[in-house]
Every structure is written in C-alpha cells, then in structure tokens.
C-alpha cells in the first residue's frame, strides 16, 4: 500500500518515523520521497528530502549513507539561489564527513556552510555550524582558530545561557592578547 502514496504522504510518514526515533525507517522513507520528487522533476523538493534522509541516516549511525543522500544537494539549492538551504546541505555533508573521520573535508564544508548562512542572514543556524567548526578545530589541533570560531558562534546567538556568557567573557582574554601582540 505504501508504494501508491504520493511524495507528500511519504514525507509525512517519514517525519513521523523520525519523531518516533525510528531513524533507519525515516531515512529509507525520505530517500523514497527524494526519488519520487526527482522523477517528477521537482529537484528542490528532492534535494530537501535528500537532506532529511541524510540527517536520519546520521542519526541511525550510517554516515556513508548520510553523505550519499546529501551529496550534490547543495548545487541544486545554489542553482535555485537558495543560500539558506545550500548552507544547510553543506552542513549536513560536513556532519557526515566528520562522522566518517574525514575531518579536513568536514572543516571545509562547515566553513562554506557558515559563509552561506551568514549571507542568508541565518545567525542561529550559523552559530550552530560555527560551534561544530570550533569543536572540530580543537580535535585537529587548531586551538587558536577554534577560539575565534567559538567567539563568532556566540556573537551570532540571540540568547546566551549563563555558561555561554561566561565562556564569551573568558574567550575575550586570549583573543584580546592575540590582537595586541
């Protein structure tokens, strides 16, 4: 019966599977949605579903499939002039690359994602990406860059928790020292 469902119906079913933490099921359903939209010539909708599949695959512990699901979707959004979704697609690809241990590639895509999200005016999304960049930079021995990335992430957030406000003040010390060398 599910074979006769329209892409919108499949997407609702996939979203419900995701909300229910049935990530592998959600990933498969979102992949079917992507194929159905692509067959109908709705490339942006297909790319959106592919990115949803990517997130679900990553949650299901399948980073290779996550990367495959999101690969190329950024170009579809670029062609549509949608910097926000292009940035999100690159962020999804970066997360999959990170999970695969391809850290330098992940950093490159996270950086491109942050640039596009800045261009799109998406401060909160950009802050999340910048935090990922900072964490990855620490893992790869780039501590000074990580400080700058975390500072930028905190600058992009509308509301800071007490912990984040304290971190922001603490970050000022080494950043100010580096600026006044």
Interval 104-147: pLDDT, tens? 999 999 999 999 999 999 999 998 998 899 888 888 887 767 77
Which of 95-99, 108-112, 163-167 is least confident? 163-167
Q: Are residues 111 and 23 in the same domain?
A: yes
- Exposed e or buried b per residue across 135-149, where buried means at least 16 C-beta atoms within 10 angstroms of its C-beta: bbbeeeebeebbbbb
Residues 6+ apart with CB under 8 A from 5: 13
- Total domain count for the chain? 2
For all residues of the chain together, what is the average pLDDT?
Answer: 89
Q: Domain for residue 2, yes or no?
A: no
Q: Domain for residue 78, yes or no?
A: yes
- What pLDDT, on the 0 to 100 scale, is given for residue 2? 44
Q: What's the pTM value of the predicted model, to 2 decimals?
A: 0.80
With cut-offs at 50, 70 and 90, classify the pLDDT of residue 52: very high
Query: What 8-state DSSP symbol labels residue 3?
Result: G
Q: Residue 39's domain spans which residues?
A: 7-120
Percent of the chain with pLDDT over 90: 67
- What pLDDT, on the 0 to 100 scale, is given for residue 161? 81
Q: Are residues 24 and 107 in the same domain?
A: yes
Q: Are residues 64 and 126 in the same domain?
A: no
Q: Are residues 84 and 171 in the same domain?
A: no
How many beta carbons lie within 10 A of that of residue 30, not counting itself?
Answer: 28
Q: Which of 19, 50, 44, 16 is nearest to 32 (CA)?
A: 50
Q: Are residues 90 and 141 in the same domain?
A: no
Residue 176 burial class via C-beta count within 10 angstroms: exposed 0-12, middle 13-18, buried 19 and up = exposed
């Amino acid at each position: 019966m599910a074979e006769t469902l329209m892409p919108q119906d499949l997407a609702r079913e996939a979203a419900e599977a995701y909300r229910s933490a049935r990530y592998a099921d959600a990933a498969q359903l979102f992949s079917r949605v992507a194929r159905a939209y692509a067959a109908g010539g709705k490339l942006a909708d297909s790319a959106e579903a592919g990115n949803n599949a990517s997130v679900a695959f990553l949650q299901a512990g399948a980073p290779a499939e996550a990367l495959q699901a999101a690969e190329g979707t950024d170009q579809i959004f670029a062609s549509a002039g949608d910097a926000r979704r292009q940035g999100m697609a690159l962020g999804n690809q970066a997360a999959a690359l990170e999970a695969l241990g391809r850290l330098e590639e992940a950093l490159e895509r996270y950086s491109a994602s942050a640039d596009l999200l800045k261009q799109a005016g998406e401060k909160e999304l950009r802050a999340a990406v910048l935090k990922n960049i900072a964490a990855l930079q620490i893992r790869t021995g780039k501590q000074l860059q990580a400080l700058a990335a975390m500072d930028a992430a905190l600058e992009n957030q509308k509301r800071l928790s007490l912990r984040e406000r304290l971190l922001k003040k603490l970050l000022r010390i080494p950043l100010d020292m580096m600026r006044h060398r």
